[in-house]
Amino acid sequence: MFFELFKWWYGSGWLEAWRGVPGSTKRIGQEFSIPLLLKNLFAPWKQIISIPGRSIDEKFRAAIDNLVSRTIGFFVRFLTLITATVVIGLSAAISLVIALVWPLVPVGVIYFLIRAVVG
């Protein structure tokens, strides 16, 4: 059983750790809906739009309302995209560190066990 653990650890376990690097970034990108955010970057916030009336004053007020709604929508979506980029970068870095450190974990456990016994 002990040798099966090492066989898995340095075989398919390590391979899965490497597969986790692009998998985690793809999953986070889907969670943030990055393609949808980019597609609707300049859309009005929560689809709030004003219908212009007949007079110039009503048309101007509707244009300003729609501009404000699109500006708010842009900033919310843009900040969400920046957050998604940061989270994806951190996730990729953490996954990469895990994949790189993976083969050292059993050696580290053995080292610290010996060190604890020897004193």
CB distance 43 to 70 below 8 Å: yes
Quote the CA–CA distance of 75 and 73 in Å, as a whole number.
6
Give the ranges where the chain is alpha helix by DSSP (H): 2-8, 14-32, 34-39, 56-101, 104-118
pLDDT at 86: 96
- pLDDT 10s digit of each residue in the chain, 119 long? 778 888 888 888 888 888 888 888 889 989 999 999 999 888 887 776 777 778 888 888 888 888 888 899 899 999 999 999 999 999 999 989 988 998 998 889 889 999 999 86
HEC profile of 83-113: HHHHHHHHHHHHHHHHHHHCCHHHHHHHHHH
pLDDT the model gives residue 12: 87
Q: Which amino acid is at 10?
A: Y
Contact between residue 45 and residue 73 where contact means Cβ atoms under 8 Å apart: yes
**22 phi, psi to nearest 5 deg:** -75, -25
What is the model's pLDDT at position 52? 76
3-state secondary structure (DSSP) of residue 42: coil
